[in-house]
Chain A
């Protein structure tokens, strides 16, 4: 009975309600502005709300979190500049839709599925948190390695430009991510004695550069090209359309919840894997993937918001952060005198109800606020390029500097921006490089851990891959991903289908 009443706390408290709404509104903007990220906003808010009551602080942060994840998708779709790593996959089909004049429809769809995905994530958090966290713990380093491997395999088939170039860009990204200190032994790799190289190449400045600045520079070549006229009639998706895509949205949301629940991985990886899964399972997309398929927007947007609910699962049940933002929230709890950990739900039972409630309110608020602002956001495209591009570049500089107060980050960002410009010129997509930078460290440190666990014995490593259920499933997925691309497989499947047809005839 106690916990039931805790759900009502935010609803009955006007101050908290307003804070959630404010947070959601602010989050959408912060997420949308290229360069500013939800993680950065969350850490700023923690210091800002230090003297507040913890419930008020939580209300604000939950709002910013929910709003920000969707907000990142707005500029991803409109300008091909993701506002957050979780929105990278959204732009693959989102931006082509804008080029076709369907940006409002894309944004409306993204907003609706974001609501459903978020809702599912919160419901699972509410009902199944302990079970999921127990399973999430069983995920071993070798499984993280396999997940990263799946992500790498996806790199080859994404974005614009041909496959080989995608592989080269991705491989370069992975190689660049190796610069810095070896995670297992502490040896320096490619640092040339320079302390700035010692800390490695952070993927956030690289992402801001390779998307924001690159896009700006590329568009600057044709400043006078008129903006594409957007069809603002169809924003709110029809019920028929929603029902058609609901299964895909729910499937993607489930992927998002699980990946969010894995400690250390969050919305960015979830969106990527969901995009790939959609690509493989949707037989007749509304347009080819990468050229404006609605499914290509629905999958990542459902997954990345469901990952929010997922990330709270290990945080609330075990005190282990599910991603960067929940890690920051744990810090806030500790500062406020709470004790996150396995006994958290027992010692502060109301917090769970309050968080779930705040997330639900934020989810609903996001749906309403975002839907109403789509028309306004779409007008951004009409802003003359000559004004928009400098603004984007300035915001990129500010946003990069704001991460760590480091000018070195800004230099990296600009450097990557210029690199990305030349890459685009020669037909290389920049997304694979960014994803290589994100996945490289996960691949590297988890492979090392897995090998260390079996005392560097490769036979045992391979044996572990097939004797553990989670690893076995992932290995089968990867094997399928590889084999299904080969000509032999396609010939085999064609024969199977032909046989089925002749049998039915």
Chain B
């Protein structure tokens, strides 16, 4: 008799536990978010600014950690290796789009689903305030005629500074000497110290330095002027040859691995949409020096694919890639 009661009791417990598990709502526990660049950088700032509002919507915390390295490949691979259950998020920028052609790794955003693209920003061509280059034409002239190559800051082959200066190289036929740093912040530090002559960084990294007059912006890497610096010409104004590359530019967003269940994706997308619609985020985007994107789903995928076409073929035509974009089915822009 006792054994029978014990048996029934155990089975009842099992049922109880099982039903609880199957009715458990996502998210049951805190979520881990991995930021592919280091603390203090543009992506870090955007991620940390937008996540708290999403957390209140989800009801659980998103624990943010920086996992920099290999221009973001470390974080991407790490999140890829985790189960696609919605408990590991990837906060990333546009760098992964070049991993395949640069031979960094064989994964990129094709293996992920974009929950939300928060912001995109324009690059700015920057020189020191006391440099002899008063405008973009001066810079190009100096690059063409100078006996010593001008030093340009870079954050590695997949970063914005390098791709942006490739853009300039492609259109004007000039060469620069790339000096690599650990991020856009250190690039600006080096520019201020006179260790490099020019660097193309994202507007967010440069905005406070331009406003204070320590850095001069020669051009914005965009097809139209940027509201934060209305006096700085866009590259398209300088030469219409730039037109075919745009719209293009760095962006920041949050992703999950492909194969994550739909209901999880729906919940996460809803939370991040809520965060993007918050007016605090609008103010943040303006101060940050960027434009709010708030793209999700198919629109986001289209945006990402176009961005990849432009970057990958640009670098390939300049001879900087290890493999051709054709191998991966990346169409020309």
Chain A: residues with CB nearer than 8 A to chain B? 43, 47, 50, 137-141, 180-181, 183-186, 195, 198-200, 263-264, 318-321, 324, 327-328, 330-331, 334-335, 337, 339-344, 346, 404-405, 445, 448-449, 452-453, 455
Contact = CB atoms under 8 A, between A and B. Distances in A.
B143 to A, nearest CB: 14
Most chain B CB neighbours (cut-off 10 Å) among A185, A264, A318, A445: A318
A405 B180 contact: no
Interface in B56-109: 61, 63-65, 67, 69-71, 73-74, 77-78, 81, 102, 104
A335 B69 contact: no
Contacts of A453: 151, 177, 179, 195-196
Contacts of B186: 263-264
Given A141-B195, A186-B102, A455-B148, 16 more contacts: A43-B39, A50-B52, A139-B193, A141-B190, A186-B158, A198-B73, A199-B69, A335-B48, A335-B52, A337-B284, A341-B212, A342-B212, A449-B180, A452-B151, A452-B178, A452-B180
B178 A186 contact: no
A342 B214 contact: yes
A185 B102 CA distance: 10
Contacts of B32: 405
Contact of A404 (B65, B193, B196, B212): B65
Contacts of B282: none
B133 interface: no
Contact of A337 (B52, B185, B283): B283
CB-CB nearest 5 A-B residue pairs: A341-B208, A342-B212, A137-B193, A181-B70, A452-B179
A200 B69 CA distance: 8
Interface residues of B, number: 56
Nearest to A43: B39
A50 B44 CA distance: 15
Contact of A186 (B67, B156, B189, B209): B156
Contacts of B284: 337
A452 B177 contact: yes
Contacts of A330: 40
A73 B38 CA distance: 28
B65 A405 contact: yes
Given A183-B182, A186-B158, A341-B209, A334 B67 contact: no
Contact of A199 (B74, B180, B214, B280): B74
Interface in B171-213: 177-182, 185-186, 188-190, 192-196, 207-209, 211-212
Contacts, number: 125
Nearest to A184: B180
A406 B61 CA distance: 18
Contacts of A346: 212
B149 interface: yes
Interface of B: 32, 38-40, 44-45, 48-49, 52, 61, 63-65, 67, 69-71, 73-74, 77-78, 81, 102, 104, 148-149, 151, 156-158, 177-182, 185-186, 188-190, 192-196, 207-209, 211-212, 214, 280, 283-284, 287
Given A137-B189, A195-B81, A455 B181 contact: no
A263 B193 CA distance: 12
B40 A186 contact: no
26 contacts: A43-B39, A50-B52, A138-B193, A139-B193, A141-B190, A180-B70, A183-B156, A186-B71, A186-B157, A195-B77, A198-B77, A263-B186, A264-B182, A327-B38, A328-B40, A331-B45, A334-B45, A334-B48, A335-B48, A341-B207, A341-B211, A343-B211, A343-B212, A344-B208, A404-B67, A405-B63
A389 B268 CA distance: 44
A320 B188 CA distance: 9
Contacts of B44: 331
Contacts of B193: 137-140
Contacts of A184: 156, 180
A127 B69 CA distance: 37
Contacts of B73: 181, 198
A83 B25 CA distance: 41
Contacts of B64: 47
A334 B186 CA distance: 18
